[in-house]
Amino acid sequence: MNKPKVLITGASKGLGLAIARKLDTEYCLILHASKSENIIELREGNFVLAADLSNADELSEFCKKLKSEHGDDLYAVINNAGISIDKPLAFQPERDIDHMIMVNLKAPIMISKTAIKLFGLKNKGVILNVSSCVAETGNAFQSIYAATKAGLIAFSKSMAKEAGELYAGHQIRILSISPGFIKTSMTDQIPELHREKYLKMIPAQRFGTAEEIAETVAFLLSEKASYINGSNIEVNGGLF
Ligand SMILES: NC(=O)c1ccc[n+]([C@@H]2O[C@H](COP(=O)([O-])OP(=O)(O)OC[C@H]3O[C@@H](n4cnc5c(N)ncnc54)[C@H](OP(=O)(O)O)[C@@H]3O)[C@@H](O)[C@H]2O)c1
């Protein structure tokens, strides 16, 4: 029997790559990055589907290919690709605002729109949107990033309810996960002063690892999590 397929966006590095490594044996992966050559690991036995998600035409083509090339076996979508361009709002160029909204919010919405139609036909599937702790806490100089991530939580909760209305007796789950501060290239950019401030807010007194997020994602995709739906799961070392 064919392995169920799982799309992971932003699988070239950081959380996406750790998630891909964790899921590799159980699922057939559709590995996404902005460019095909950015996917270096795990190509064998899996698929690569590239698109710059800030580009509307590439996003539309990506969704078409997802449906035509992988629609039959698609079991789950992990909307993980994301970008943070940190600045005071007063000095944030509009193109940065559009870029973050497109990659972090519109792309997950359009990919979910493609996936939910396929899942509706089979009455089965999981959409997992990668949000962030700042969606609930807020963060200075990340107002747009935080807004996109808060949007993902509301989107996931609404979609879970919508699936309940539309697909009776279904096994479709739509969730979000809010990582805290996790060691990746995204958090490598945090200045030392801010890093110390954040560490004081984390009872675990350390940043998390991408592998710790991957473990949670693997659980949420599995049958063991069959009654978790519409929830936002915080994985943040107790951050307050
Ligand atoms: N690290 C943390 O502490 C943390 C905390 C909370 C939430 N998150 C969220 O977790 C997710 C992964 O973060 P990360 O730390 O692993 O970040 P990362 O190491 O910077 O990786 C980002 C991924 O997103 C992809 N991506 C970025 N812009 C893209 C675009 N325009 N088109 C297509 N793909 C694009 C990148 O692909 P390319 O390599 O091709 O550019 C890369 O695979 C993000 O949604 C982030 O907001 C992270």
State which of 9, 61, 80 you would mutate to test the pocket of ligand 1, scoring each by most atoms of that ligand within 8 A of its C-beta: 80
Range of the domain at 39: 5-235
Residue 169 has what pLDDT? Answer: 80
- Ligand 1 centroid to residue 215 C-alpha, Å: 18
Q: Is residue 65 part of a domain?
A: yes
Q: Is residue 69 part of a domain?
A: yes
Q: Is residue 170 part of a domain?
A: yes
Residue 240 has what pLDDT? Answer: 87
- Ligand 1 centroid to residue 186 C-alpha, Å: 7
Q: pTM for this structure?
A: 0.98
CA 76/CA 221 separation, integer angstroms: 8
Q: Where are the beta strands (DSSP E) in 73-160?
A: 74-79, 124-130
Please count the other Cβ atoms lying within 10 Å of the Cβ belonging to residue 95: 10
- Ligand 1 centroid to residue 232 C-alpha, Å: 19
- Ligand 1 centroid to residue 15 C-alpha, Å: 7
Q: Is residue 240 part of a domain?
A: no
Q: Is residue 26 part of a domain?
A: yes
Within 8 A by CB and 6+ apart from 53, the residues are: 9, 34, 59, 62, 81, 102, 103, 107
Residue 231 has what pLDDT? Answer: 98
Q: Is residue 82 part of a domain?
A: yes
Name the catalytic one among 75, 145, 198, 227. Answer: 145
Protein residue whose Cα sits closest to atom 34 of ligand 1: 34
| 145 carries an active-site annotation | yes
- Tokens 């963060």 belong to 139
> What total of structural domains would you count in the chain?
1
Residue 170 has what pLDDT? Answer: 85
Protein residue whose Cα sits closest to atom 26 of ligand 1: 81
CA 174/CA 209 separation, integer angstroms: 24
CATH of the domain at 178: 3.40.50.720
Q: Given strand 5-8, what is the order of strands in its sheet? A: 47-48, 28-31, 5-8, 74-79, 124-130, 171-179, 232-235
pLDDT in tens, the chain (240 residues): 789 999 999 999 999 999 999 999 999 999 999 999 999 999 999 999 999 999 999 999 999 999 999 999 999 999 999 999 999 999 999 999 999 999 999 999 999 999 999 999 999 999 999 999 999 999 999 999 999 999 999 999 999 999 999 997 889 999 999 999 999 999 998 888 889 999 999 999 999 999 999 999 999 999 999 999 999 999 999 998
Q: Is residue 95 part of a domain?
A: yes
